[in-house]
Amino acid sequence: MTSLVADAPAMLPFFGTLLSFALLPGAAPRFWHRNMARITLSWVVLGAVLGSFRQGPAAALAEVWQAGIVDFLPFIAVLMALYTLGGGVLIAGGPWGRPAGNALLLGGGTILAGLMGTIGAGLLLIHPLLAANGARAERRHLVFAFIILVANAGGALSPLGDPPLLIGFLRGVPFFWPTLHLALPMLVVAIPVLAATYALDRRLASREPEPKPQPLRIRGGLNIVMLVVFAAAITASGLMQGPDIAIGPAHLPAAQAALTMLAALIIAISEIRTPPAIRARNRFAWAPMREIAILFFAIFVTIGPVLHLLTTIPLTRSPPLWFWLSGLCSAFLDSAPTYLMFFQAAGGDAAHLITPPARLLTAISSGSVLFGAITYLGNAPNLMIRAITAHRGVRMPGFLTYMLAAGAVLLPIFVLETFLFFS
């Protein structure tokens, strides 16, 4: 308790950042969008000032630099590259719009999210889903399932899929570890949600005229090729051992530095070579990624005191407890910082955590990824998808209504997961 009281002021910038992103967009949207960068920077500055009092100005600035260069830069470079490539591929036509086609898109999107990220897959597929069902009176159930499956559960399949697993990968968790350990927990969520959505969609569609089929067209082949190359490069970077590169007081592993530079090159090529018509049809914009970049920079820079406190708390190493704790925190605090906090609390040593049966890391990873669908705040794509659907005229439920609906669907599944995988 003494440690918690003493560390409370130092943790204020971290929780202030999260609460700002959670509450201000809904409470004061115009004020927030005009001042988001200033508000977030204020929390970062406050964190640096408080750090200066604790350990001196030089050490505090070195800590900010280390977090920005080593933790934030490779992470956001990968996310931006996946986001850019996803927005450069256009899918038009296809069987979507009918129950079987919608189920196919949701199932395929779940798998695709593991290959190109929940952000990229969400941005790529939400537009054809909504367009194909544009004439229907009720589409909210499809968006609801899309958030659960494509924007969250599908990300469990690889470090490319979801920011929490990317953080684990950059800290030493093998690339294919999530595929081997999280595929079954993901399927326990995906199969019943997909089946229930298909049944409901078939019932609703029976009341409406069947849409005319449109031929499937896919544009943006260069971005697809670069996505394959980039995925291979990310895999290789986890296998390479090399020296650290000194960038001021920070030391960045050479493989991560190379991956960051490759991401920058891919972003530039994609921006130059992708036809503007593809970006326009996908309604691609940099504003959502800008918000994500600002959020995660502040998180990485201010999370240090929280991680330090977690290493001093004697939590029992019970996989069911960690599954639910990491999951509930993920639902309300965003999945990436949640994973980072619990990963550190578990010791922060990937080599130890992946030692079979690795139930503790499986619990942390599953909770951080799968619970993200319970609220709009649980994962970055949730808010993006809600904004896109609103722009297309689909009225999604408010925060509380959505949380109650998602909880009613997912919490019983998570109870089943607890007995199947963590008891």
User: Three-state SS across the chain?
Assistant: CHHHHHHHHHHHHHHHHHHHHHHHHHHCHHHHHHHHHHHHHHHHHHHHHHHHHHHCHHHHHHHHHHHHHHHHHHHHHHHHHHHHHHCCCEEEEECCCCHHHHHHHHHHHHHHHHHHCHHHHHHHHHHHHHHHCCCCCCCHHHHHHHHHHCCCHHHHHCCCCCHHHHHHHHCCCCCCHHHHHHHHHHHHHHHHHHHHHHHHHHHHHCCCCCCCCEEEEEECHHHHHHHHHHHHHHHHHHHCCCCEEEECCEEEEHHHHHHHHHHHHHHHHHHHHCCHHHHHHCCCCCHHHHHHHHHHHHHHHHCHHHHHHHCCCCCCCCHHHHHHHHHHHHHHHCHHHHHHHHHHHCCCCHHHHCCCCCHHHHHHHHHHHHHHHCCCCCCHHHHHHHHHHHHCCCCCCCHHHHHHHHHHHHHHHHHHHHHHHHC
Integer Cα distance of 117 and 165 in angstroms: 10
Structure tokens at 108: 């395929």
Q: Which residues of the chain have pLDDT under 70?
A: 1-7, 238-239, 241, 310-311, 313-315, 391
The CA distance from 81 to 260, in Å, is: 9
> Could you report the per-residue pLDDT of 15-24, keeping only the tens digit for each?
898 788 777 8
The structure's pTM equals 0.77
Task: Note the pLDDT of residue 2.
Answer: 45
* Structure confidence at residue 406 (pLDDT): 93
